[in-house]
């Protein structure tokens, strides 16, 4: 599983009694590097987990091929990839299976096809999301517009920022727009001075968290994930963004 991800996925693995084995990302896409998965596989490896981080998909053809060759399962975490397409197919398109799993593995009352669990949304949250879901595609288009603006404008407005690579295979949903800045504190402070809020996803990789001290993976074990944790900076992103307003904020002198 990815070394650079939100700890949620690691915790889910730990909850099952399995051991998380981190893998470095591809530097330009932030997603798990299929070439580095192979070296971590052992006879007890049960599954590979790809997290579609920040709304871009991992290189799933490569991940699926190596998993098929070794007879291990592939899990996709699409928590940040609502509406994302990978080579024309939506990421995490398992609705029927998941619907059953969240309801005791049942598709028909008192008929249980799978060993599922009780993980249904409560009614109020479901009601809100039911309405929001109708807007998802349009909101993702708006996010794409903001991302296109960033990709076109940041080389001029924020030349110290390394931009995310956009490989040919996904249609990203831009859950986050994440750049890398070597002197991140300075970059963050400069943007704050322009009234532009930023966040860091994520400042401490899971293997360096106290929660995983037992894995005995000290600093230096995953240098790329650790460097990304020091350099990544999430710029404002969301369907509410207005490109003209963004442009006005960034266009104020940055010197
Ligand atoms: C990849 C990823 N990002 C973020 C989150 C956080 O999700 P939430 O906002 O529901 O806590 C999760 C939770 O599972 C996750 O797996």
Counting atoms of ligand 1 from 1, which one is nearest the CA of 52? Answer: 1
CA of 205 to the centre of ligand 1 (A): 15
Q: What is the CA radius of gyration of the chain?
A: 20
For residue 2, being part of any structural domain is answered with no
CA of 91 to the centre of ligand 1 (A): 15
Counting atoms of ligand 1 from 1, which one is nearest the CA of 53? Answer: 1
**DSSP letter assigned to residue 135:** H
| Amino acid 170: pLDDT | 81
The percent of residues above 70 in pLDDT, for the chain, comes to 98
Q: State pLDDT tens for residues 75-112.
A: 999 999 999 999 999 998 888 999 999 999 999 999 99
Domain limits at 87?
Answer: 7-251
CA of 254 to the centre of ligand 1 (A): 33
Cα distances from 156 to residues 166, 195, 243, in angstroms, run: 19, 19, 16
For residue 185, being part of any structural domain is answered with yes
Counting atoms of ligand 1 from 1, which one is nearest the CA of 9? Answer: 16
- The domain tally of the chain equals 1
CATH number of domain containing 182? 3.90.1150.10
For residue 162, being part of any structural domain is answered with yes
For residue 136, being part of any structural domain is answered with yes
Q: State pLDDT tens for residues 115-133.
A: 999 999 999 999 999 999 9
Q: Which residues contact 58 (CB under 8 A, 6 or more apart)?
A: 29, 31, 32, 34, 50, 51, 52, 76
- 9 CB within 6 A, ligand 1: yes
Counting atoms of ligand 1 from 1, which one is nearest the CA of 51? Answer: 1
- 31 CB within 6 A, ligand 1: no
């Amino acid at each position: 599983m990815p070394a650079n991800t939100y700890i949620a996925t690691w915790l889910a693995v730990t909850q099952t009694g399995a051991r998380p084995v981190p893998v470095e990302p591809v530097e330009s896409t932030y997603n798990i590097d299929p070439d580095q998965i192979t070296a971590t596989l052992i006879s007890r490896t049960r599954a590979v987990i790809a997290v579609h981080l920040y709304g871009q998909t991992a290189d799933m053809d490569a991940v699926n091929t190596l998993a098929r060759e070794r007879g291990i399962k592939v899990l996709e975490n699409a928590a940040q990839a609502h509406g994302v397409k990978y080579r024309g197919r939506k990421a995490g398109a398992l609705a029927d299976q998941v619907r059953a799993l969240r309801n005791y593995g049942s598709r028909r009352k008192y008929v249980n096809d799978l060993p599922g669990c009780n993980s249904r949304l409560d009614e109020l949250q479901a009601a809100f999301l039911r309405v929001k879901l109708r807007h998802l595609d349009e909101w993702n288009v708006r996010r794409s517009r903001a991302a296109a603006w960033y990709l076109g404008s940041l080389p001029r407005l924020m030349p110290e920022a390394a931009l995310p690579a956009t490989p040919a295979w996904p249609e990203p949903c831009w859950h986050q727009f994440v750049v890398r800045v070597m002197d991140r504190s300075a970059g963050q402070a400069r943007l704050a001075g322009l009234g532009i809020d930023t966040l860091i996803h994520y400042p401490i990789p899971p293997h360096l968290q106290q929660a995983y001290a037992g894995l005995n993976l000290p600093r230096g074990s995953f240098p790329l994930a650790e460097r990304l944790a020091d350099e990544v900076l999430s710029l404002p992103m969301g369907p509410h963004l207005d490109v003209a307003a963004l442009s006005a904020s960034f266009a104020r002198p940055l010197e």
